[in-house]
Amino acid sequence: MDSVTLHKIFDIGGVFEAIIDWLTENLSVVFDIIADVIDALLTGFFNVLMFPHAFIMIALFAALAWWIAKKGVGIFTLVGFFLIYAMNLWEATMETLALVITSVFIAILIAIPIGIWASKKDTVEAIVRPILDFMQTLPAFVYLIPAVLFFRLGAVPGVVATLIFSMPPAVRLTNLGIRQVPKEIKEASQSFGATNRQMLLKAEIPVAIPTIMAGVNQTIMLALSMVVIAGMIGAGGLGNEVLKGITQLKIDLGFESGIAIVILAIFLDRVTQALGVASQKQAE
């Protein structure tokens, strides 16, 4: 039996295409509602970021970084974001930041409850783990295909593809963090008559916060990497600028956009890492 015959029998791609076609034909209203919600969130975050003058936002970002991640990161943020403004990439950077914030916000809303559920039920963890493995190993570009088919071109499919691609670390580390809570703490909570809900909210989650924050940090970094790829489907922001630099052979634009992405990535990484360290000290 040759490979062509086997491919006709095991037509995995055809099955996937049939599923996508059925979903787009029968659940178009649901996808329209999801698109409207995501678009409203994205527009709201972008308007908040763009409402003050750029210099005010640069000062606020620098002050936030200084307060959370100390002096060095604050100075870097001040200089780095001023450089972004000087390169005339401020609006594109805020578009990218709004897309990251929207994607991570939705991803965390979904991932943390799933992670908590998986930490409480071994059956759920057994089901979730291979799904997360599949999500993390599937090439990032593949996520763009169903996203475009369901939500067409633009920022919304970029958000959907980004949040799916970036979600696994938050689920995994939430599950891990709660499972690693010492038995002594759980037994002490139970001895004081705490319900399962009280034990989760007042004992397990506070102890697991550093691990959960590590998952949030990884989710943000993955979201930022995917945002660049999402520029291929019209998501806008710095990803679109990088794509212009590649397709139009504008070396200067591509290089400057890359620098802006690096600055934004370092800012987000250092601030979220500092939040994780602070939460760990508070837990101790």
Kindly state the average pLDDT of the residues 130-155. 81
Could you tell me if residue 24 is inside a domain? no
Q: Same domain for 198 and 75?
A: no
| Segments forming the whole domain that contains residue 64 | 53-86
Residue 101 has a pLDDT of 92
Amino acid at 63: A
Asked whether the predicted pLDDT for residue 48 surpasses 90, the reply is: yes
**pLDDT band at 284, cuts 50/70/90?**
low
Q: What total number of domains does the chain contain?
A: 2
Residue 109 has a pLDDT of 92
Write out the two tokens for 106. 């939705």
∠ Cα 174 180 182 (to 5°): 135
pTM: 0.86
Could you tell me if residue 110 is inside a domain? yes
Q: Are 115 and 175 contacting, i.e. CB atoms less than 8 angstroms apart?
A: yes
Helix 155-166 crosses helix 168-179 at what angle (to 10 degrees)? 30
What pLDDT, in 10s, does the model give residues 96-117? 999 999 999 999 999 999 999 9
Q: Same domain for 76 and 155?
A: no
Amino acid at 213: M
Residue 98 has a pLDDT of 92
Kindly state the average pLDDT of the residues 242-263. 85
Q: Same domain for 155 and 185?
A: yes
Q: In angstroms, rounded to a whole number, what is the distance separating the alpha carbons of residues 282 and 284?
A: 5
∠ Cα 271 272 275 (to 5°): 90
Kindly give, in sequence order, each residue whose CB lies less than 8 Å from that of residue 82, ignoring residues fewer than 6 positions away.
58
Q: Same domain for 199 and 129?
A: yes
Alpha-helical segments (H) within 121-236 = 122-137, 144-151, 155-166, 168-179, 183-191, 196-199, 205-230
What pLDDT, in 10s, does the model give residues 67-95? 888 888 899 999 999 999 999 999 999 99
**pLDDT band at 267, cuts 50/70/90?**
very high
Q: Same domain for 172 and 208?
A: yes
Instruction: Write out the H or E segment, with its range, that includes residue 44.
Output: helix 28-50
What is the C-alpha R_g of the chain? 21
Q: How many residues does the chain have?
A: 284
Kindly state the average pLDDT of the residues 8-15. 66
Write out the two tokens for 156. 């919304």
Residue with tokens 């401020």: 90
